[in-house]
A and B are shown apart, each in its own frame.
Chain A
Amino acid sequence: MTNTSATDSPKAGLEPPALVQGDHDFASVTESVCRVVEEKRPPTIWFAIFGVALAALLMLFGLIGYLIWTGVGVWGNQIPVAWGWPIVNFVFWVGIGHAGTLISAILFLFRQKWRTGINRFAEAMTIFAVMCAGLFPGIHIGRVWVAYWLFPIPNQMDLWPQFRSPLLWDVFAVSTYFTVSLLFWYLGLVPDIATIRDRATTKVRQVIYGVLALGWRGSARQWHRYERGYLLLAALSTPLVLSVHSVVSFDFAVSQLPGWHTTIFPPYFVAGAIFSGFAMVLTLAVPARAIYGIKHLITINHLEAMNKVILATGMMVGYAYSVEFFIAWYGGNPYEKFAFINRALGPYAWGYWTMALCNVVSPQIFWWRKARRSIPIMMVVAVLVNIGMWFERFVIVITSLSRDFLPSSWGYFKPTSIDVLMLVGSFGLFFTLFLLFLKFLPMVAIAEVKNVMPQAHLKKHHH
């Protein structure tokens, strides 16, 4: 078959860069992805990060127990800022959870083949981010033990939820998004789990991966329905991924609070979500490809494409920030005008300018190709964007609530140590799940990568 000399030099010339770099065949692609799952002992750095993440996760569980036992007073939430950090964290995490399905679904529909290197990775990230997101409103309701009241479940009180409230729309949007993302992810995983099953050397692995692979045999008739199903899920997920953050933005936009009551919120939130999601994918993918030696599958070309998306969505977000100011002036509503002057110059100006610098200014460096292909620069920008997008939600939630129509009811929000530690703990949850995923499941979609390799295409003319 093909010559397997492992040179990692990118192909020069006019042809588009190869999606799998170096001379690889199907077997070596399988080998490089499965090796990570099959190696006896993960890299030392894996244990180091996992230990920290697990400690943070255990702290989160402890804090949730403390919160439930004591009450939401352990947070800094206080009138007028009754939403506080838990909702900031919720919007932050659910935003991050957008990149996965965007890469899987929208780029799939647009036939962007470069997605195959990163889609599995990004989908896993989506699911874990949505889990972190779902946690916060769940514990924010105060009486956690009646959280099931959020759903229309028949009950002895003969009550039903109020369907004209955006908060209920949110319950449906986030839970639908989680379910569909999980199905999409698992459906994509089935053929790759079957690969691991067939390579299994121990009985335990054979049984566990065998059960998870559902008996997949890669039959052409199965592939036919599978591909159609995958396309349908992509088509369903595309409007879904755009709708989820739109519905999250309704939580704000449908209220009458200055700074929230604005029609730009749905597109602005969606652009911000994609922006933050891609930044998080980069933050995770850059170390992972180095540690696990899969630079030929997640290539510098993949990273550059993601940096372009970050530049584009960062400019959309910057445009939304400026349009908000324009409308505050042009709309002639004095409360709206005040809300925005207060954001930029009021007591939370530090938060506003942190957001603007991280989200609007820092990605501008990606206008230069050198920067787009530089690992240190893209890591710095990705982390800055993650920080900036957290501050964006902080600015939206906190500044608007803290100063509304009535100056006598203004306040200044101060987080407690529990607020801060719970945010840290949510990162623990996220990284614990993500590291387990890296250890036990194929982090690159093996079958999809093979599909975009030149060997996968018919050379002869068939009829």
Chain B
Amino acid sequence: MSNENDQTTETPEELKFHGIVAEFDNVDDVVDACENVRDAGYTKWDAHTPFPVHGIDEAMGIKSTLLPWLVLCGGLTGLGIAVLMQWWMNAVDYPYIISGKPLFSLPACVPIMFELTVLLAALTTFIGVLALNMLPQWSHPLFRNERFKRATDDRFFIAIDAADPLFSADKTKALLAGTSSLGVEDVMTEANPAPFPKGLIYGGIGAVFLTFVPLAIIAKARFSTSDKPPLHVVWDMDWQKKYKAQKVSPFFADGRTSRPQVAGTLARGDYIAEEDMAFHTGVNLDGSEVTEFPIPVSAAMMERGRERLGIYCAPCHGIDGVGNGMVALRAERLKANPTTPDSSTWTAPLSFVDPAGAVMTQTIGKLFKTITNGERTMPAYGSQIPPEDRWAIILYVRALQKSKNANFAELTPEDQAALRGK
């Protein structure tokens, strides 16, 4: 069996001695032989079996692997990463409140803590098994041996490395030959192993460099400016087929994108019954302005009008309607100050009670329209003051006008007497 050196004649390559290998055909024989090799004190040797033979670890004196400790470290690393990641991302770097939940709470983190623990522990296991087994190792002297191919099928082998301090070609072979092995062979290896193919090395380096090219292009775009519009690979909803309010539409003859209400239609809530027209618009059905109050005139209604006027009208017109509200007073002061940038747009509020002013002669219908729709720089108050309150305010305005411009003769005898008495 040891006359295999003539293999060298078949191939021109130069071989050197690597060790010896013995073949067995059942588990009992190989485990027996392992015990012999172990007891002889060899250290650089191994058994090769098609499946894990139970009991061979003791027979070979294999110490327990430290893999479980590596896996524990991997798992704890995953756990730590999960806690820190969730805390930093959701409570520190990008804190936002969702459903009133706390920014960081352990129970919500548990699922991902668990998953990352398992993930990193499993990756450590896989990489650990390969690394501790020195895999991948695609080239090994044993692969040169034809009979060794059955090590993954149905045969069992013991290989002893020539580098073992106890190794001696004769004694070691005798040791293995003394067991129930089917045969002992020399294992040869290339004296000058071929270097790793240069093409693969340069190709690999080139491929790594090529992967940097897109990254470099992206990085350049991130840190430089350009007058060209950004490149949109996916448009999302950035450009939609739609018209904005003030754009021209080629579809409609009048070119308006914003369409007017269709003739003869009303928006919901805009309908007013004919009998309510005067109350809601201040205009009668025949188009004339209202002159009779469409609400019951009472002291309570007038009081309501005084209160509402104090809220809505007094800021400009003043509580007695002469036009000296706080807004007006401040505007006049700003206007008097030459440093005010632009006060030319200011229009002073009219006095309700000036006997020569326009308001004195206006119908209550006209006043209602003014409050509802606004006038000159006065805004429309229709959306803020309900119609009944608008009428109440007008009622109070009429009372103010009366009181500021009353003749002595129009007073009741009791009032005249009271004034005379004073």
A and B physically associate: yes
**Out of A156, A243, A446, which one reaches B222, CB within 8 Å?**
A156
Chain A nearest CB: distance from B143 CB in Å?
8
Could you mark each residue 16-55 of chain B with 1 if its beta carbon is under 8 Å from any beta carbon of chain A, else 0? 0000000001111001101100000000001111111111
Could you mark each residue 116-156 of chain B with 1 if its beta carbon is under 8 Å from any beta carbon of chain A, else 0? 10110111011011101101111110110000011111100
A34 to B, closest residue via Cβ: B153
B contact residues, range: 35 or more
Residues of B contacting A451 in the complex (Cβ-Cβ under 8 angstroms) = 51-52
Residues of A contacting B54 in the complex (Cβ-Cβ under 8 angstroms) = 456-458
Report the bound CA distance from A460 to B99 in whole Å: 68
- Contact between chains at B153 and A30 (CB < 8 Å): yes
Binds A, one of B64-72, B252-260, B353-361, B412-420: B64-72
Chain B nearest CB: distance from A460 CB in Å?
5
- Contact between chains at A215 and B27 (CB < 8 Å): no
- Contact between chains at A247 and B60 (CB < 8 Å): no
Residues of A contacting B137 in the complex (Cβ-Cβ under 8 angstroms) = 214-215
B234 to A, closest residue via Cβ: A145
Residues of B contacting A164 in the complex (Cβ-Cβ under 8 angstroms) = 90, 98-99, 101, 108
Given A26-B153, A173-B111, A220-B62, A187:B25 Cβ within 8 A: no
- Contact between chains at A243 and B115 (CB < 8 Å): yes
Residues of A contacting B122 in the complex (Cβ-Cβ under 8 angstroms) = 179-180, 183-184, 233, 236-237
Is there a chain A Cβ closer than 8 Å to B399's Cβ?
no
Residues of B contacting A224 in the complex (Cβ-Cβ under 8 angstroms) = 52, 57, 62, 65
Residues of B contacting A25 in the complex (Cβ-Cβ under 8 angstroms) = 154
Given A30-B153, A218-B48, A451-B51, A226:B111 Cβ within 8 A: no
Is there a chain A Cβ closer than 8 Å to B86's Cβ?
yes
Chain A nearest CB: distance from B266 CB in Å?
26
- Contact between chains at B90 and A163 (CB < 8 Å): yes
**Out of A186, A195, A226, A446, which one reaches B133, CB within 8 Å?**
A226
Is there a chain B Cβ closer than 8 Å to A250's Cβ?
yes
Residues of B contacting A225 in the complex (Cβ-Cβ under 8 angstroms) = 65, 67, 128-129, 132-133
- Contact between chains at B121 and A236 (CB < 8 Å): yes
Q: State the main secondary structure of chain A at its contact with B.
A: helix
Residues of A contacting B111 in the complex (Cβ-Cβ under 8 angstroms) = 166, 169, 172-173, 243, 247, 250
Is there a chain A Cβ closer than 8 Å to B85's Cβ?
yes
B135 to A, closest residue via Cβ: A214
Residues of B contacting A447 in the complex (Cβ-Cβ under 8 angstroms) = 50-52
Chain A nearest CB: distance from B12 CB in Å?
20
- Contact between chains at B136 and A215 (CB < 8 Å): yes
Chain A nearest CB: distance from B243 CB in Å?
22
Given A26-B153, A226-B129, A152:B89 Cβ within 8 A: yes
**Out of B71, B118, B133, which one reaches A239, CB within 8 Å?**
B118
Chain A nearest CB: distance from B221 CB in Å?
11
Within 8 A of B (CB), among A215-247: 215-229, 232-233, 236-237, 239-240, 243, 247
B93 to A, closest residue via Cβ: A160
Residues of A contacting B129 in the complex (Cβ-Cβ under 8 angstroms) = 187, 225-226, 228-229
Report the bound CA distance from A164 to B106 in whole Å: 10
- Contact between chains at B152 and A232 (CB < 8 Å): no
Chain B nearest CB: distance from A381 CB in Å?
33
B153 to A, closest residue via Cβ: A30
Given A30-B154, A222-B133, A217:B109 Cβ within 8 A: no
Chain B nearest CB: distance from A196 CB in Å?
9
Is there a chain B Cβ closer than 8 Å to A161's Cβ?
yes
Is there a chain B Cβ closer than 8 Å to A48's Cβ?
no
- Contact between chains at B50 and A215 (CB < 8 Å): no
Residues of A contacting B75 in the complex (Cβ-Cβ under 8 angstroms) = 236
Residues of A contacting B49 in the complex (Cβ-Cβ under 8 angstroms) = 218, 220, 223
- Contact between chains at A163 and B86 (CB < 8 Å): yes
Chain B nearest CB: distance from A64 CB in Å?
16
Chain A nearest CB: distance from B48 CB in Å?
5
Is there a chain A Cβ closer than 8 Å to B56's Cβ?
yes
Is there a chain B Cβ closer than 8 Å to A158's Cβ?
yes
- Contact between chains at B51 and A450 (CB < 8 Å): yes
Is there a chain B Cβ closer than 8 Å to A38's Cβ?
no
Within 8 A of A (CB), among B53-108: 53-60, 62, 64-65, 67-68, 71, 75, 85-86, 89-90, 93-94, 96, 98-99, 101, 108
Given A160-B94, A457-B27, A218:B151 Cβ within 8 A: yes
Chain B nearest CB: distance from A181 CB in Å?
9
Within 8 A of B (CB), among A179-207: 179-180, 183-184, 186-187, 191, 194-195, 197-199
Chain B nearest CB: distance from A202 CB in Å?
15
Residues of A contacting B62 in the complex (Cβ-Cβ under 8 angstroms) = 220-221, 224
- Contact between chains at B133 and A233 (CB < 8 Å): no
- Contact between chains at A160 and B48 (CB < 8 Å): no
Given A222-B133, A229-B129, A247-B111, A198:B152 Cβ within 8 A: yes
**Out of A169, A176, A198, A463, which one reaches B149, CB within 8 Å?**
A198
B86 to A, closest residue via Cβ: A163
Residues of B contacting A229 in the complex (Cβ-Cβ under 8 angstroms) = 67, 125-126, 128-129
Residues of B contacting A160 in the complex (Cβ-Cβ under 8 angstroms) = 89-90, 93-94
Is there a chain B Cβ closer than 8 Å to A12's Cβ?
no
Most A CB contacts (10 A, CB to CB) among B71, B108, B119, B122 go to: B122
- Contact between chains at A218 and B152 (CB < 8 Å): yes
- Contact between chains at B27 and A458 (CB < 8 Å): yes
Is there a chain A Cβ closer than 8 Å to B170's Cβ?
no
**Out of A215, A220, A457, A459, which one reaches B135, CB within 8 Å?**
A215
Chain A nearest CB: distance from B272 CB in Å?
30
Is there a chain A Cβ closer than 8 Å to B286's Cβ?
no
- Contact between chains at A214 and B101 (CB < 8 Å): no
Most A CB contacts (10 A, CB to CB) among B99, B149, B236 go to: B149
- Contact between chains at A240 and B94 (CB < 8 Å): no
- Contact between chains at A163 and B112 (CB < 8 Å): yes
- Contact between chains at B27 and A162 (CB < 8 Å): no
Is there a chain A Cβ closer than 8 Å to B114's Cβ?
yes
- Contact between chains at A211 and B138 (CB < 8 Å): yes
Given A152-B89, A214-B137, A233:B27 Cβ within 8 A: no
- Contact between chains at A26 and B154 (CB < 8 Å): yes
- Contact between chains at A198 and B153 (CB < 8 Å): yes
A168 to B, closest residue via Cβ: B112
Q: Which residues of B contact A (CB under 8 A)?
A: 25-28, 31-32, 34-35, 46-60, 62, 64-65, 67-68, 71, 75, 85-86, 89-90, 93-94, 96, 98-99, 101, 108-109, 111-112, 114-116, 118-119, 121-123, 125-126, 128-130, 132-133, 135-140, 142-143, 149-154, 222, 233-234, 236
The 3 closest A-B pairs by CB, nearest first: A26-B154, A229-B129, A160-B89
26 A-B pairs whose Cβ atoms sit less than 8 Å apart in the complex = A27-B154, A160-B94, A161-B89, A163-B108, A164-B90, A172-B112, A176-B118, A176-B119, A179-B123, A180-B119, A180-B122, A191-B152, A216-B135, A217-B48, A217-B142, A218-B151, A223-B56, A224-B62, A228-B68, A229-B126, A233-B125, A451-B52, A457-B54, A460-B28, A462-B35, A463-B58
Q: Which residues of A contact B (CB under 8 A)?
A: 1, 25-27, 30, 143, 145, 152, 156, 158-166, 168-169, 172-173, 176, 179-180, 183-184, 186-187, 191, 194-195, 197-199, 210-211, 214-229, 232-233, 236-237, 239-240, 243, 247, 250, 446-448, 450-451, 455-460, 462-463
